[in-house]
C-alpha cells in the first residue's frame, strides 16, 4: 500500500458530476490508520469485502471514502481526492462530510463515478487520497500536520468474477 508525499501531477476531480449519471449504489471505501500488534498500520478496503485494496466500480455509483483513526483527515491544501490522469469523464461532484470543528478538517469525501461501459475488465484508474496526518495539538499553537498521499486504485470495471 504505497504512501508518499505528492510528487506528481494531480488532477482535481471535476466540480460537477459526470453528465447522464444516475448512481445505482453507494460504494464505501474505508481507510484506517491505527496501531495493530504494536505497529502502526494503514489499511484500506472496499466495505463488505476482504483483502480488496481497490475501489471496484461495477455500475454508476457514489463513492464514499471515510478516513478512520485519530490522526487522519482530508487535506486542507489539496482536493481530498484527485486522479493521476485526467479522467473527468468518469468522476466528479466531489463533496465533503464528517466535519471536525476543532481541527477544521473532514473525515468523509464523496464523488460520483460513471461506470466504464465497454471498458475491459480490471481497468485501473490511479487515484490519490490527499490527507493531513495530525502530529499533535497544542491549545495555544493549534494542530501540527504532515501532508501525505495514499494511493489506492479504482478498477472500473473491476476484475471479472463469476460470483460478483
The pLDDT value given to residue 142: 82
Task: Quickly count: other Cβ atoms within 10 Å of residue 5's Cβ.
Answer: 8
Nearest to 90 by CA among 113, 69, 107: 113
Pairing of strands 61-68, 25-36: parallel
The pLDDT value given to residue 6: 47
The pLDDT value given to residue 164: 45
State how far the Cα of 115 lies from the Cα of 157, in Å rounded to an integer.
7
Which residue's entry shows cell 495555544? Answer: 140
The pLDDT value given to residue 104: 94
With a CB cutoff of 8 Å and minimum separation 6, the contacts of 7 are none
pLDDT digits (tens), the chain, 164 positions: 555 554 567 888 888 888 888 888 999 999 999 888 999 888 999 988 888 899 999 999 999 999 999 999 999 999 999 998 888 889 999 999 999 999 999 999 999 999 999 889 999 998 999 999 999 877 777 889 999 999 999 999 999 875 54
Concatenated DSSP letters for 37-86?
TTEEEEEEEETT-SS--EEE-SSSEEEEEEEESTTEEE-SSS-SEEESS-
Amino acid at each position: 500500500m504505497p504512501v508518499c508525499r505528492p510528487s506528481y501531477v494531480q488532477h482535481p476531480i471535476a466540480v460537477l458530476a459526470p453528465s447522464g449519471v444516475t448512481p445505482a449504489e453507494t460504494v464505501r471505501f474505508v481507510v484506517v490508520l491505527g496501531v495493530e500488534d504494536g505497529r502502526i498500520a494503514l489499511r484500506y478496503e472496499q466495505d463488505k469485502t476482504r483483502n480488496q485494496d481497490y475501489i471496484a466500480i461495477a455500475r454508476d455509483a457514489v463513492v464514499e471514502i471515510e478516513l478512520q483513526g485519530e490522526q487522519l483527515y482530508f487535506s486542507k491544501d489539496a482536493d481530498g481526492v484527485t486522479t493521476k490522469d485526467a479522467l473527468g469523464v468518469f468522476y466528479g461532484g466531489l463533496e465533503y462530510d464528517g466535519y471536525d470543528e476543532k481541527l477544521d478538517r473532514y473525515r468523509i469525501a464523496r464523488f460520483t463515478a460513471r461506470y466504464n461501459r465497454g471498458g475491459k475488465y480490471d481497468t485501473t484508474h490511479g487515484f490519490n487520497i490527499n490527507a493531513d496526518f495530525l502530529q499533535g495539538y497544542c491549545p495555544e499553537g493549534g494542530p501540527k500536520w504532515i501532508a501525505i498521499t495514499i494511493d489506492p486504485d479504482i478498477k472500473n470495471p473491476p476484475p471479472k468474477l463469476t460470483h460478483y
